[in-house]
């Protein structure tokens, strides 16, 4: 803005206003929904628009089982990085509107139940190795509980 006179004129002829495009990078925010194993964007995603932009992707996932896995998140990230954005941020948000079922890991009470629930989610070692690990865990639990009772 440039002022031409010290006094304010009602017709605004006392000033000149010029607009310039900001030198900062464009910010693009995309919203997606992950349901039934599929990632859906509301509008058609044009990767050309993401070039040299600061990109934020917000993915809404339902609470409970069927979450967006790390591998699926990485695949999404790789797909978006092909567009060559200047910056990429992926944010996962859980959908509070959907009914939640307790995850098996959260419902597990003992250390063994938690370990078995973890293996069910992530895939565990072979059955014979699982039994050896559970046996070692039981010994460790016993030692920890005995030490805690002594204190």
pLDDT in tens, 101-126: 456 667 777 888 888 888 887 788 88
- Taking the C-alpha atoms of residue 35 and residue 82, their distance in angstroms, rounded to an integer, is 24
DSSP SS3 for 5 = coil
* Domain ranges within the chain, ordered by starting residue: 1-101, 102-151
* pTM for the predicted model, two decimal places: 0.47
Which segments of 40-108 does DSSP mark as H helices, in order?
70-81, 104-107
Residue 84: band (very low, low, confident or very high) from pLDDT cuts 50, 70, 90: very high
């Amino acid at each position: 803005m440039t002022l031409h006179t010290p006094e304010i004129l009602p017709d605004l002829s006392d000033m000149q206003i010029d607009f310039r495009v900001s030198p900062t990078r464009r910010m693009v925010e995309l919203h997606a929904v992950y349901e039934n194993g599929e990632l859906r964007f509301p509008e058609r995603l044009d990767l050309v628009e993401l070039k040299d932009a600061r990109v934020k992707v917000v993915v809404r996932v339902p609470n409970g089982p069927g979450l967006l896995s790390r591998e699926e998140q990485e695949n999404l990230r790789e797909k978006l990085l092909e567009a060559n954005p200047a910056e990429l941020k992926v944010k996962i948000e859980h959908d509070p509107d959907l009914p939640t079922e307790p995850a098996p890991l959260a419902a597990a009470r003992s250390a063994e139940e938690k370990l078995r629930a973890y293996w069910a989610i992530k895939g565990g070692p072979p059955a014979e190795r699982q039994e050896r690990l559970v046996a070692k865990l039981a010994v460790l639990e016993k030692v920890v509980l005995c030490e805690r009772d002594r204190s």
